[in-house]
Structure 1
Amino acid sequence: MKTCVLPGLLSILMVLSSPCTIARSAVTVLPGTPPETREVRLESLSEKSATLRFIAADGASVTGKLLLPESPHTKLAVLLHPMGSDLTFWTRTDHSMRASRLSNYLRQNGYAVIMLDARLHGRRAVSHITARDLLKSAHSADPTLYHDTIQGTVRDYASVLAWARTQYQPKEVLIMGYSMGAQMSLILAAQHPSIDHVVVMVPPYVAADTSPVAPRMFTAQILQANVLWLAAKQDEHSTTTQTQATFDLIPSKHKRLVWLDSAHRLPSTYTDLVLAHLEKLSQRPATENKP
């Protein structure tokens, strides 16, 4: 099996007929992850998208989606969905959160867009574990299930990010997440300083001082990325004090915290704020977009 490094849409066509591997040197190895080569398969190719599959280092089967840009692309966006949802959060036009507006904008502006189902979500769900079970685990004396889900999914995204960098060699990388997805986005941004832009919506606050998945344990490591953080004043998963304190830990000078008068479920108009932010990024020269 060869390692493929092919630019643009041509790489999609060739990968489909000849699956690629992720070179060991390209993979960012996270704690507990053996530096094994991954094979990433792209299936069901169309002009707009392809299904993405690979086997994680721990043997877990990973399913995702690759949205192809409408114009020649030099940028990559990675989108992370909230707990209890799946990757279609970003593509369903009938979803009340209207997140499809964001993925559509990215495609229309030269981004290749990657989305995965988080562990125990979507096509990776198991019948005996629900989102409510995960939430209970998060607040229990033994949050192992919750920790494993978050950490495992972060490793999955780290692997696919390494693959995408090798395949497309993007000039810019943006990650975006909502709730649990925002939590994982902050962890990824801390562990991968080459990520240029971070957009997070209502990441939860994890109170345990020793938690390996608490955003506040990672935000101090986001040194240069451009960060947009949308927060809710009545968020049931993070008080205004907790949110502000976690945000303030980010040392990057390119950060902005925007408060919305809502609960954890933001009004659909949050997409207008994100789109305005993305539009500003698109109007700036690529060199200016890099912090």
Structure 2
Amino acid sequence: MRISKGVLKIMASLLGLAALMGALWWSLFGLKPYEIDARELQRRYAYGPPHDLALKLAPIDQARLTQDFSFSSFDGATVNGRIRYPADPATAGAPFPLLIAMHGMGRSHWRWWQAEYKGGKTREHTHQLTALALQRGHAVVAIDARRHGERKDPKVNVEQLMDELHIWGKREPYEAMLVDTVRDHRVLLDWVTRLPQIDARRIKATGYSMGGQNALLLAGVDERIGAVAAIVPILLDDKLAAVAAKNLLPGLADNRVWLLTADQDEYTDSARSRGFFEALPGADKQHLRFAGGHLLPADYVARLGPWFDQR
């Protein structure tokens, strides 16, 4: 079947129009790299301790050794979360090392405590990582990230925020969500490191996906973190420079960093993961690679045992 010249001309015109529209969209809305220096990064992640923490701390649930809490963050926003102890703090012989646990996008801090939440399974197995931490004598604390869990914005949900990022190039709301979540954790650190049952010299951070990204960012700006286990973190380039962990590498020099990645990760390709690991400035680092995609096999949890045991 022959296609007439007229039809070919129309097809060529449509293709040209599509290319023109694509170029116009890119020039107007496409995310483009930008530069950010160390001083500006420091300014972005700086915070002022709240005048009134407005801490609400429930009594310890003796059956689960948990305490639910809320407090006012640096900007007055309410932060909610839970801390769980490996033993009763009232009878413990020494303060506990602490694990700060950060959840992934679209999740909440409950994913660190339960195998199921609201009818959905915790497929990232983070509740098992909590169990391992407790077995290794660590207290575990987790809060909801900005725009997640009890802190969801009824006007703009996370899916809309990501659409605005990728379609319209609105990076500021996404970057603010992560930066302010890190700042919330810095306020959290101000509180928990003053607790007599917590060993402020032994603070670790971990997280899955967006949580792994946030764990790296927190350790990169706050020297109170001594070790990081970043599980399939989202590793960004300079199109989102303020929340690209590679730009905070100097702050990770004194950390023990374990990087867990997937060879077929849908969000961070293996070449970028390898490059990030190689760029880590400290000598105390390990890279654990897994076959498959962003959801790691459940046995990744056991592989982290030695990370807890090292001081």
Calculate the TM-score normalised by the size of structure 2.
0.76
Rg bigger for which structure? Answer: 2
Q: Which amino acid aligns with 2:284?
A: H
Q: Which amino acid aligns with 1:277?
A: W
Contact in 1 for aligned 2:264/2:293 (Cα 8 Å): yes
- TM superposition shift of 1:76: 1.0
Give the Cα–Cα distance (whole angstroms) in 1 for the partners of residues 154 and 297 of structure 2: 31
Contact in 1 for aligned 2:102/2:142 (Cα 8 Å): yes
- TM superposition shift of 1:131: 2.9
Unaligned runs of 5+ in 2: 1-41, 117-121
Q: Which amino acid aligns with 1:226?
A: R
- Cα-Cα RMSD: 2.1
- SS of residue in 2 equivalent to 1:216: helix
> Where does residue 55 of structure 1 map in the other structure?
72
* Residue number among 113, 117, 135 corresponding to 1:91 in the alignment: 113
Instruction: Report matched runs for 1:1-291 at 5 Å.
Output: 31=45, 33-37=47-51, 38-47=53-62, 48-70=65-87, 72=92, 73-94=95-116, 95-139=122-166, 140-168=168-196, 169-170=198-199, 171-209=201-239, 211-278=241-308, 280-281=309-310, 289=311
Q: Which amino acid aligns with 2:87?
A: E
Distance 1:107 1:210, change over 3 A: closer
Calculate the TM-score normalised by the size of structure 1.
0.80
Give the Cα–Cα distance (whole angstroms) in 2 for the partners of residues 209 and 45 of structure 1: 44
Q: Deviations over 1:173-206 (max 9, x none)?
A: 1111111111110011111223221111111122
Question: Would you say how many aligned residue pairs link Structure 1 and Structure 2?
Answer: 254
Give the % identical residues: 24
Q: Which amino acid aligns with 1:101?
A: Q
Unaligned runs of 5+ in 1: 1-27, 282-288
Distance 1:210 1:97, change over 3 A: closer
Q: Which amino acid aligns with 1:89?
A: R
Give the Cα–Cα distance (whole angstroms) in 2 for the partners of residues 267 and 254 of structure 1: 25
- SS of residue in 2 equivalent to 1:203: coil
Contact in 2 for aligned 1:219/1:246 (Cα 8 Å): no
> Where does residue 286 of structure 1 map in the other structure?
none
Higher helix share: 2
Give the Cα–Cα distance (whole angstroms) in 2 for the partners of residues 118 and 77 of structure 1: 16
- TM superposition shift of 1:145: 1.3
Q: Which amino acid aligns with 1:93?
A: A
Q: Deviations over 1:35-81 (max 9, x none)?
A: 43323221253121111101112121111111122263331110000
Give the Cα–Cα distance (whole angstroms) in 1 for the partners of residues 45 and 205 of structure 2: 21
Give the Cα–Cα distance (whole angstroms) in 2 for the partners of residues 68 and 100 of structure 1: 14
